Amino acid sequence: MTSKQPNVLKRFTPLVAAIDMLVNERLALLNPASWTDTNDVAFLSEYGRQRGATRLFAACFTQAPETYHHWQVFAGSNEGVCVEFDRGALLGALLDDDSYYWRDMEYVTIEKLRARRSLALEDLPFLKRWGYRDEQEFRLIHECRAESPPRIHHVPIKRAWITRIVLNPWLSEGLADGVKLALRSLPGCGKLKVARTTLIDNARWKAALGDVEDYAPILGPPPKAI
């Protein structure tokens, strides 16, 4: 497990969604029924049924330092970005509204889950299979009781709560410069911090080879392990 980053919530999302956040100062929470992980869908659906909610909306964040997994799974195309939020500001604005709740995800094995004699209803939206543990997910949920719920729920935010936008590692440097310019040209975004991640192309990492003065010789063929 990698260590959490204090007061930072990261949302991997398409660039167009990040632009919508900046221009309209809102965060979109989606209906989990459309998620590809049907395990998640089942638990959230049962929770909503037990609570009598007409619809649940959710947004998933991570608190972990970036990994290849995050970029590949959640922002796999070169149009994906990572939006970093001030955690305290975002959640603090929702404290007085009981229709919102949030928590770190708890990762458990099937064996441990089935060994439990009972489950607290409030735990259902925040349980996930052990294989997802490296995501270090943080989940924000809105419980809707409107008779005609919308397709998407928007949380009002302030532009200043977005502390940085990180561009996809597969975006070329030339295109990245244009995207940075475009984002900073949006209303109120002149000082927005925008950077392209160097996770898969880092000059300092590659330059470290130049610091190696000598390589110990391999005695025999390269090592193998079973």
pLDDT at 116: 86
**What confidence category does residue 222 fall into, taking pLDDT thresholds of 50, 70 and 90?**
confident
List, for residues 56-104, the tens digit of each pLDDT value: 999 999 988 888 778 877 776 678 999 999 999 999 999 999 999 999 9
Please check the confidence at residue 13 and state whether its pLDDT lies above 50.
yes
Please check the confidence at residue 4 and state whether its pLDDT lies above 70.
no
Please check the confidence at residue 52 and state whether its pLDDT lies above 90.
yes
Segment (H or E) for 176: helix 173-184
Query: Average of pLDDT values for 147-166?
Result: 95
**What confidence category does residue 3 fall into, taking pLDDT thresholds of 50, 70 and 90?**
low
Global pTM reads 0.87
List, for residues 114-132, the tens digit of each pLDDT value: 998 888 999 999 999 999 9
Question: In 20-147, at which residue ranges do the beta strands (DSSP E only) sit?
Answer: 26-30, 55-62, 80-86, 100-104, 106-108, 127-129, 137-144
Segment (H or E) for 177: helix 173-184
Query: Average of pLDDT values for 182-210?
Result: 89
d(CA 172, CA 208): 23
Token readout for 87 is: 């955690």
67, 77, 82, 74: which is closest to 37 by C-alpha? 74
Query: Average of pLDDT values for 37-51?
Result: 94
